Amino acid sequence: MHGHGDIVVTRTPLRVSFAGGGTDLPAFFSREPGMVVSTTIDKYIYVTVKRLEPVYTERYRLNYSITETVQTIDEIENGVARECLRLLPVEGPLYIGTFADLPASSGLGSSSSFAVGLLKALHLVRGEKVSNGQLAEEASRVEIDMLDRPIGKQDQYAAAFGGLNCIEFRPDASVSIEPLHVPQEQLTEAFAHIRLYWTGVTRDSAQVLGEQCRNVDARMAVLRQMRNQAIKLRDRLKTGFDVPALGCHLNQNWEQKKSLASTITDRQIDDWYAAAMAAGALGGKICGAGGGGFMLLLVPPAREAAVQQALVSLQEVAVAYEPHGSLQILPHVA
């Protein structure tokens, strides 16, 4: 197996969801099916795992926004790394490093991408083959069960499989993923309209989602509408990528999403969104749980300058379609 006993680097994409977010929470799909339509983008989490020589005195060295050097798995402060190593132990001395193209806690599923990428790397270092479905389920187990985070299951599946997908979450806890095959020229056209604007606000998604989970009973009707929006979008995408229709879906999804928790939006976010729409955006939403992070907007190229001017205080990030999920990029696979 490539990488066994040496060094492995994985590259795992971030994602944006178009419809159905919130119905991937166990509090909803344990009662009735949830559904999300999402796509991965060409922004990534990179994870390096390397066995170190025995001369290293620490058993585990982790390098992310901080550096940790510890002797036992229990001492690791990074929750995802700690629980991934509990699930897939690798005897030290071991180095784990990660960096990302975009900031963490920004609504693009970076925590789940990190979990998927690290698990893939650990499997490879252990000399094991692993399927995308197994990676997604293991990452979900790490984040939802082992770390007890109030999050859904869409991000882990998006990161593991990659591409444009409709993902269904069933009451028996099974998940099905349906790739949506859109012609390349239509994808290129659609992504010519997709823009991310960085609000500069990072937030703990667990706080937003925790309130959302507590509100599920009172918001079942809205969540059903959001799931049905995902079904309609899936069916529409099967006949092609209609950009104005996607804008309508995004706008409706955002209006519904705002009612799920009090921390999803605020006056500043609402003002930015209104300014973008007045300048010619076709629709949009705050990515992920809400409360900050990236704002996704669908902007006709002819209106891009006007939207940029309306959001002059925000940093624009252009993205492209990424068809692949988590990949091993070192050692190179023939």
Q: What is the DSSP string of 157-209?
A: HHHHH-SEEEEEE-TTS-EEEEE----HHHHHHHHTTEEEEE-S----HHHHH
Q: Is residue 79 part of a domain?
A: yes
d(CA 274, CA 310): 10
Per the structure block, which two tokens stand in for 14? 């971030």
pLDDT at 1 over 60: no
Q: Are residues 225 and 155 in the same domain?
A: no
Instruction: State the average pLDDT over residues 74-99.
Output: 97
Instruction: State the average pLDDT over residues 196-223.
Output: 82
Q: Sheet holding 194-198: strands in order across?
A: 283-286, 294-298, 194-198, 315-318
CATH of the domain at 207: 3.30.70.890
Residue 213: the pLDDT is: 78
Phi, psi of 291 (to 5 degrees): 90, -5
Q: Are 37 and 237 in contact (CB under 8 A)?
A: yes
How do beta strands 67-70 and 294-298 pair? unpaired
Among 217, 216, 231, which Cα is nearest to 169's? 231
- pLDDT over 70, % of the chain: 97
Q: Are residues 161 and 291 in the same domain?
A: no
Q: Which amino acid is at 133?
A: G
Residue 113: the pLDDT is: 98
Lowest mean pLDDT segment, chosen from 133-142, 258-267, 322-331: 258-267
Range picked from 122-136, 189-203, 246-260 for highest mean pLDDT: 122-136
- What is the band of 165 on the pLDDT scale with cuts at 50, 70, 90? very high
Per-residue exposure over 26-39, b if at least 16 CB sit within 10 Å of its own CB, e if not: bbbbeeeebbbbbb
Among 318, 325, 323, which Cα is nearest to 12's? 325
- What is the band of 333 on the pLDDT scale with cuts at 50, 70, 90? low
Q: Are residues 193 and 45 in the same domain?
A: no
Lowest mean pLDDT segment, chosen from 6-20, 198-212, 276-290: 198-212
Residue 4: the pLDDT is: 44
Domain around 205: 184-318
Instruction: State the average pLDDT over residues 217-222.
Output: 90
Count the alpha carbons within 13 Å of 271 in the hemisphere toward its beta carbon. Answer: 8
Q: Are residues 141 and 245 in the same domain?
A: no
Residue 261: the pLDDT is: 82
Q: Are residues 29 and 114 in the same domain?
A: yes
Residue 228: the pLDDT is: 96
Distances (CA, A) of 188 to 185, 244, 257, 303: 5, 15, 27, 18
Q: Are residues 138 and 68 in the same domain?
A: yes
Long-range contacts of 180-188 (CB under 8 A, 24+ apart): 180/37, 180/234, 180/237, 180/238, 182/237, 182/240, 182/241, 183/240, 186/240, 186/241, 187/241, 187/321, 188/321
The three-state secondary structure class of 306 is: helix
Q: Are 32 and 23 in contact (CB under 8 A)?
A: no
Residue 262: the pLDDT is: 84
Q: Is residue 144 part of a domain?
A: yes
Residues with Cβ < 8 Å from 84, sequence gap 6 or more? 115, 118, 119, 122, 142
Q: Are residues 73 and 13 in the same domain?
A: yes
Q: Looking up tokens 């585990």, which residue turns up? A: 60
pLDDT at 5 over 80: no
Mean pLDDT rounded to a whole number for the chain: 93
Residue 3: the pLDDT is: 39
d(CA 251, CA 284): 6
d(CA 135, CA 284): 30
More confident call, 115 vs 207: 115
Q: Are residues 28 and 122 in the same domain?
A: yes
Q: Are residues 147 and 17 in the same domain?
A: yes
Q: Residue 284: enclosing H or E segment and its boundaries?
A: strand 283-286
d(CA 64, CA 107): 19
Tens-place pLDDT, residues 242-283: 899 999 999 999 999 888 888 888 899 999 999 999 999 999
Q: Is residue 1 part of a domain?
A: no
Q: Is residue 101 part of a domain?
A: yes
More confident call, 4 vs 90: 90
